[in-house]
Amino acid sequence: MSDLLKKVEVIFKDDEVVVVNKPAGLVVHSDGRTEEPNLCDWVLEHYPEAEGVGEPIEKKNGGIIARPGIVHRLDRDTSGALIIARTEEAHAHLKAQFKNREVDKEYAAFVHGRIEALRFEVDESIGRSVGDFRKWSVPPHIRGEARAAHTDFETILAGEKATYLKAFPKTGRTHQIRVHLKSLHHPVVADELYAPGFQPILGFTRQALHARAITFKLPDGTVITAEAPLPADFLAAKKELETQK
């Protein structure tokens, strides 16, 4: 087992669902082009009953990318709480909650620049970027359809050159938090895709975004909040930022 897979931690589990703390650097599932460790490998090793649960991706060439138990995703370099379904019933139940925006998510982030506002929101639709197929953007720098996106933010600690935030995405668009923060000219620290003109600070070697907590319902109606502790790089950055107040 790879070193990254050994870092996967279980933060909640029952007979239907597992919530893990995904380490930064680990992809959730294969892209079908390259071979590297991914979270689905870990799922099959520890919860083999999840094989066949969920919806695989069908590639244009007819190939299949398996996604056992996967209901939602985190970017490779985003760490934190991610739900895995162990049964088809749980997968369908969770998928409906995500579709109906009944899952509450809390992220922690360090961004470039000082933000004075204690609470603020971004209600900007998101679409594919005109200039780079890997990126998403807010209008007018998009091509094709734009989809509604809304994120609430809360400032926790503002330093001279960076701010520590909580983010509460109300929709689930690809790269949503990263795109919304870039639109404010406060991109996530060390985000190679959305902050190319900024030098990484606070010791980060990966984008400073962590899925801190997720709240959802189990198939029996029980409400669960699973929390992923802040990783070491976040704790170190927070301590450094406190000296800059």
**Residues recognised as catalytic:** 75
- The residue among 36, 44, 39, 1 whose CA lies nearest residue 20 is 39
Q: 134 and 31 in contact (C-beta within 8 Å)?
A: no
C-alpha angle 135-209-98 in degrees, rounded to nearest 5: 75
The amino acid present at 58, given as its one-letter code, is E
- Beta carbons within 10 angstroms of residue 199's beta carbon: 8
- The residue among 98, 155, 147 whose CA lies nearest residue 121 is 155
Q: 169 and 121 in contact (C-beta within 8 Å)?
A: no
Look at the chain and count its residues. 245
